[in-house]
Amino acid sequence: GRVLVLVLARIVFCVAVRFSSLLPTTIGLRGGSPFPEESPPSSPQKLSAESSSLNDARGYIAPKTQDIMLPDLNHTILSNEVAEVLGVKYLGPAKNGLRFPVNGILFGHNRRVMVNFSCRRKSLEKSYPWLNVIFLCDTGSPISYISAYAMNALIGTNDHIPELLRVDSGDFSHTFHLSIPGSHFAEVNVLGMDFLCKASLSILMDSAGDFVELRRNAITSP
């Protein structure tokens, strides 16, 4: 009789194992009742830099995120050394309008391309004076900037420094961004590729004589 009981127990065990293998793997026991196993929560998707700026052109650099390494240029150097070589008073009165070609210099050990432009704030309500504004020509910058010093002079007050300023440079005008405070070019005015392309300017250099010239439409397309 004992042998029969053991045989029956063995049969029941085998049947139970066989039956459990046929059950779906998503069924388990919690608190004695069957339930669908919960799938692990999906981790939140992190927004990439690309997805946060889908509307931006490839390689776009926001004006406020730029920095230009110019440890050899600041407001004092522009006012004294560069202005003296160019023969102008920086941010002083200038002749009306801008005429091309514009002569400039290769300044200092780092051969910075520096030019002086006659500029004024563009306005339909008020006539602002023309001033000498010394710029660094930088083909590596997609954006053009004007320092807080130059903006103060152009708008005639230091009560409020705008982040954008429309500037008249003769027969065309351009919107300049404020040189980024705290950056390595905060006190420097920069002519970037947006201005150079809009004005159809070419930079001609005589490296032997430290002389540069900005010409309009100097190169014709083949």
pLDDT tens-digit series, residues 104-133:
999 999 999 999 999 999 988 888 999 999
Same domain, 95 and 196: yes
Q: Does residue 133 sit within a domain?
A: yes
User: Would you state the torsion angle of the CA atoms of residues 105, 214, 72, 84, taken in this order, to the nearest 10 degrees?
Assistant: 40
Contact in structure between 194 and 142 (CB atoms under 8 Å) = yes
Contact in structure between 200 and 192 (CB atoms under 8 Å) = no
Same domain, 10 and 119: no
For residues 53 and 189, the model is more confident at 189
Same domain, 79 and 29: no
Same domain, 74 and 7: no
**CATH number, domain with residue 122:** 2.40.70
Q: Does residue 108 sit within a domain?
A: yes
Residue 42 pLDDT = 37
Instruction: Report helix, strand and coil shares of the chain as percent, to nearest 5.
Output: 25, 25, 50
Residue 99 pLDDT = 84
**Average pLDDT in the 172-177 region?**
93
Tokens of 202: 């070419």
pTM for the whole thing?
Answer: 0.72
Total domain count, the chain = 2
Same domain, 81 and 188: yes
Enclosing domain of residue 102: 63-216
Whether residue 60 has pLDDT greater than 70: yes
Contact in structure between 40 and 110 (CB atoms under 8 Å) = no
Question: Which residues share a beta bridge with 219?
Answer: none
Same domain, 104 and 206: yes
Residue 85 parent element (H or E): helix 83-86
Contact in structure between 153 and 92 (CB atoms under 8 Å) = no
d(CA 186, CA 179): 5
Tokens of 96: 């009306």
